[in-house]
Amino acid sequence: MKTTLITIAAAILMASAAKAQNLTNTSWTSLHEHLYIESDDGKNNIKAFDVDCYTDGGGIPVAAEMKRVSPGVFVVRYIENDYKPSTRNKLMSVDCPETGKTEYLYQETMDGKFLHILAKVEDEKFHQMRIQEFYDAINGTYTDKDGKKYVFNNDVLTIDGKKMTIKPKETAYDGYTNGFIADNGTHYCFMISETGINLYTAKYDEQDESETPIPDKLWVQLRADLDANQGRWQFTNQKIIMERHLYRYSKSLLRLMRNEIYARHGYKFASADLAAYFAKTSWYSPVSDNSKIKLSALEQLNVNIIKRVEDAMNQKEIDEGEIEKGL
């Protein structure tokens, strides 16, 4: 299946066009980077700051100059920063089952190459968004080797009908990563595997001021139940995926995640491994004509975001390979 990133015409046509508006005191994020618009005169002069938001409090703000070049279209130029090229940003909106109508900036290079999706977020909800990112990584139904069922549903973990409350462990610099605290006070962390998640008791490096949880002793290995929620990543058709969230996964899992969106519509896969993978589920029913499949605007948007991260990972491997070779 061929996925075109640069062209997002289908998503744009199906998404609701956002009306021109004053953007003063609005925030836009992918949880990978964050754009805060301080002032907007309603015409051409908009003052903004771009923040690398690897941390919950944000990184170092970079002054940005925004120009409204047409209704709903803005060019961002980063002041005194040659590293970040200018971008074109289109104000759009899409309907999301979980979050309702969501405004976002479709960000691209000046020559039209897709870069990021920055969703609008109220400042007071940014912290909760970071917590939900943690939950999205672990939520789901799993089984252990003995068939015991584990269900993660936000702050509740149910093990064979018995419930316990879990609280994400916040780190000093990186927000919520992979640690959580059970209601009995025990600290745990999880690692995403190709088939599910592995749970460990957690320990901490006394020399690490970030207090990031480190796997200590294996508690249990869990396999994702692909039949429980029509796949492993139900959030992909519920809301705009935060780009930062996707860096938790391997390239192979991102490929499965992206194609799971198509599989829910019955896409008939030419790749034997994908066809075999989804054939194991009870809900996948391939159609005879893929051309009749129509993704929602949200699904198409998320396909492009996932593919963008896959491509970034591939480019990183190429760059690191060139460095090792001394090129």
* Closest-CA residue to 257 (of 231, 276, 222): 231
Burial of 128 (0-12, 13-18, 19+ CB in 10 A): exposed
Compute the average pLDDT of residues 60-77: 85
Alpha-carbon gap, residue 267 to 245, rounded angstroms: 25
pLDDT mean across residues, the chain: 85
- Quote the pLDDT of residue 125: 80
Examine the pLDDT at 17 and tell me if it is beyond 50. Answer: no
Q: What is this structure's pTM?
A: 0.84
Alpha-carbon gap, residue 116 to 118, rounded angstroms: 6
Lowest mean pLDDT across 3-17, 64-78, 282-296, 297-311:
3-17
Span 29-65, pLDDT tens digits: 888 778 889 888 887 778 888 765 433 444 567 778 8
Query: What are 97's two structure tokens?
Result: 């089952």
Compute the average pLDDT of residues 2-25: 50
Contact 156, 141 (CB under 8 A): no
Alpha-carbon gap, residue 211 to 179, rounded angstroms: 10
pLDDT band at residue 16, thresholds of 50, 70 and 90?
very low
What letter does residue 20 receive in the DSSP assignment? Answer: P
Which distant-in-sequence residues (6+ apart) come within 8 Å of 2 by Cβ? none
Fold entry, domain 234-325: Methane Monooxygenase Hydroxylase; Chain G, domain 1 (1.20.58)
Compute the average pLDDT of residues 80-97: 85
Examine the pLDDT at 4 and tell me if it is beyond 80. Answer: no
Radius of gyration of the chain (CA): 21
What's at 245, amino acid-wise? Answer: H
Own/partner contacts of 255-259, CB < 8 Å, gap of 24 or more, are 255/310, 256/232, 257/232, 257/233, 257/306, 258/3, 258/303, 258/306, 258/307, 258/310, 259/1
Is CATH 2.60.40 the right assignment for the domain spanning 9-125?
no
Top-confidence residue, 17 or 290: 290
In the chain, % of residues over pLDDT 90: 61
Span 170-209, pLDDT tens digits: 886 667 789 999 999 999 999 999 999 999 999 998 888 7
Residue ranges of the domains in the chain? Answer: 9-125, 128-224, 234-325
Alpha-carbon gap, residue 182 to 155, rounded angstroms: 9
Contact 186, 166 (CB under 8 A): no
Which distant-in-sequence residues (6+ apart) come within 8 Å of 148 by Cβ? 159, 160
pLDDT band at residue 317, thresholds of 50, 70 and 90?
low
- Quote the pLDDT of residue 13: 36
Span 203-259, pLDDT tens digits: 998 888 778 899 999 999 999 999 988 899 999 999 999 998 999 999 999 999 999
